Amino acid sequence: MSENTPTAGGFTGDPAAALRVTGSGACCGSPAQAVGGILPPAGATANGDPCCGTRQAAQAADSCCGTEAKADAIAAGQGCCS
């Protein structure tokens, strides 16, 4: 069997794009994938609050978490959303 047997599977675009996914609403943990349209849009939580840190810091980082607060939480071995 060829290692490159063509089927309908595999990436439809550039596989390396999977390395550039910016992520969804939570800065870690779930949600895994927006299904059913009930999840917040990318970069926002359900009510617009940052997962951690201040709103200004989160907005500056274009994330739901402030960069410094997130780094501190990760360094401490805690969830970056906790």
Partner 1 sequence: MTAPTDLADLLEQVSAERMTATIATLASDPMAGRRAGSAGGAAARAWLVDQLTALGVDVRTEEFPVRAVPQVYEAPTVTWGDRSGPEELVFGRQVAIHPASADTYRIRRGALGVAGGKADPAGRWLVVSAEMSLFDAYRDTHGAAGLLVRRPVDAEGWQFTMLAGPDPGPLPVLTLDPDTHHAALTAATVGDGWLAGATPLRRDDVIGTNIHARLRQPGTDGADVLLTAHYDGVGDHPGLRLPGASDNATGVAVVLEAARMLTAALPAGAGLSVALLDGEEVGALGSAHHATQLRADRATPLVINIDGAGRLDGAAAVEAGGPAHRLLALLDQAGRHAGVPLAAGPVASDNRRYGGAGFAAVGIGAGLGGYHSPADTPDKVDPAALAAIARLVVATAHLAATTPDTLSSSIGDKR
Pick from 30, 64, 62, 59: which is nearest to 44 by CA? 64
CB of 61 to partner 1, least distance (A): 15
Enumerate binding residues for partner 1 (CB under 8 A): 1, 3-26, 28-36, 38-39, 42, 45-52, 55, 74, 77-82
Q: What are the backbone dihedrals phi and psi of residue 8, each rounded to the nearest 5 degrees, phi first? A: -80, 0
| Peptide bond before residue 31 is cis, with ω within 30 degrees of 0 | yes
CB of 14 to partner 1, least distance (A): 7
CB of 30 to partner 1, least distance (A): 6
